[in-house]
Amino acid sequence: MSWFKMHLNLSLFFAWLLANFLALIAFALLGSGEITAGWITLLALAAIVMLGTEIWYLMQKRRSLFFLFLNLLSWVGFVILLSLENKAVKRATLENEVTAEKLELHLERTGEIREAEEPRLQPVTTKVEQVDDKPELRQCPACSKESLYWNNNVQLHECVNVACKRRFTEAELTLARQGKLKIPSEPRRTVSYRPGKHMDVICALCNTHFFSIETAREHRWQCNRTSRGEAIHWLPAMANELSHKQWDELVYLINERSTSESNLTFLPLVVREWLLPLMFIFVSSSTGIVISLGIGNPAPFWLLFTVVLVFSVEKWFFLYTRRYVAIGVFYRILLNLSMLSLLALLLWFGIQLFSRKLSFDPLSGSLLLLAELGFFVWLWTVVSRNSWRWPSMKLTVFCLVIMILVFAFAGVEPISSYKDLALTKLSSILWHK
């Protein structure tokens, strides 16, 4: 969804293409000229897609919905819609100017700021260019020693004192220098997690340190760099010496909604992590089986199963694909093969639909073709996000071609029969010429 928000004009253009495609299918199915229920349904879907996308487009640009009347001007109105100025950018710029004031007010509410008659903090930017690149040590506000330097790898100020090893953002140092932020000499201990050990986690988006589970949970809903519903990623501080299992448990406790709100706290942590994804895969696969039995074609089941499996890995098990190299390689191969198979299915299904060779009605076939097209576009975005993994799509296609050629000339059926048929047709074409 973030891609569509960043490319509003392209999203509107793609919706316009999809709406016109639905309208063309509707007029192609009109046939004898009699108005049918399928014709009306496709036209209604085209209108819903176009109007819904235009409403979302205008709301994202903070423009009035009266611009919907530009549809009366046909393609001229559509061009005017694409040329509308995005007022949301100006509003976001104004909101960013008061980020430091919001941070100061939040610290006042949590009791971590001193009451002082000093002017309000001006907006602070944490750009790397504003930090001196010289390896000069600064005074650490925690241990009061000249041991603080700028770590360009993590974009934070880091203390080299072995007894301290604290990290600070530029905004935290500015508040501490002005006396508006109390930084304890030792990190606060957690309430119930690992007694005797320090807890120090960092928000990967705004580089803010948190020393308790309660403050980290509260930050999930107040981080200015996240949109509503977006997950926050956490990083362990250098002083944390936690194993993978302990870190996973800590992150789960932070991201958990509330201990009192959870109804599955009696289950082990591993069961709670795997229960929801497995239930989601089971329900979606069952739905695909019902649809496949209803139309007499196994395509909906395999389509839903593949999409749900990839979605579950991206949402719940992405950490395992990065931690273990073998799982990451297997996942990339699965993505490549799924995309190639879906492309082949899309081409075959489109040819069968427009040649009227399918066993079910044209309306169901058109809706299934549109679903396959939407899943293909989504899977394309997933593959592009995982393009850094090995093996690449080119290597996968090359290996598939080599395997097909080896199986075809080795006599493996049915590939060998397809090879003989292709060679026979090719020789007949060349012989006639």
Task: Kindly list the domain boundaries of the chain, sorted by start residue.
Answer: 2-92, 118-255, 270-390, 392-433
Determine the pLDDT at residue 258. 41
Q: What is the pLDDT of residues 193-204, one digit of tens each?
A: 443 345 678 887
Count the Cβ atoms, other than its own, within 10 Å of residue 34.
7
Q: Report, as an integer, the average pLDDT of 217-245.
A: 65
Phi-psi region of 291 (alpha: psi -120 to 50; beta: other; left: phi over 0): alpha
Q: What is the pLDDT of residues 255-268, one digit of tens each?
A: 765 433 344 545 56
Beta-bridge partner residues of 148: 138, 159
Determine the pLDDT at residue 333. 94
Distance CA 3, CA 18 (A): 18
Q: What is the pLDDT of residues 108-131, one digit of tens each?
A: 665 544 444 444 445 544 444 444
Distance CA 124, CA 238 (A): 25
Task: Select the more confidently predicted residue: 113 or 103.
Answer: 103
Determine the pLDDT at residue 226. 55
Determine the pLDDT at residue 240. 66
Q: Report, as an integer, the average pLDDT of 274-288.
A: 87
Of 130, 127, 128, 148, whose CA–CA distance to 138 is shortest? 148
Count the Cβ atoms, other than its own, within 10 Å of residue 51.
14
Determine the pLDDT at residue 234. 77
Determine the pLDDT at residue 315. 85
Burial grade of 244 (CB within 10 A; 0-12, 13-18, 19 or more): exposed
Q: What is the pLDDT of residues 133-161, one digit of tens each?
A: 445 788 888 888 888 888 776 667 888 88
Structure tokens at 106: 């939040």
Task: Select the more confidently predicted residue: 84 or 124.
Answer: 84
Q: What is the pLDDT of residues 327-358, one digit of tens each?
A: 999 999 999 999 999 999 888 888 888 888 87
Task: Select the more confidently predicted residue: 163 or 184.
Answer: 163
Which of 69-73, 127-131, 152-156, 416-420 tops mean pLDDT? Answer: 416-420
pTM exceeds 0.85 for this model: no
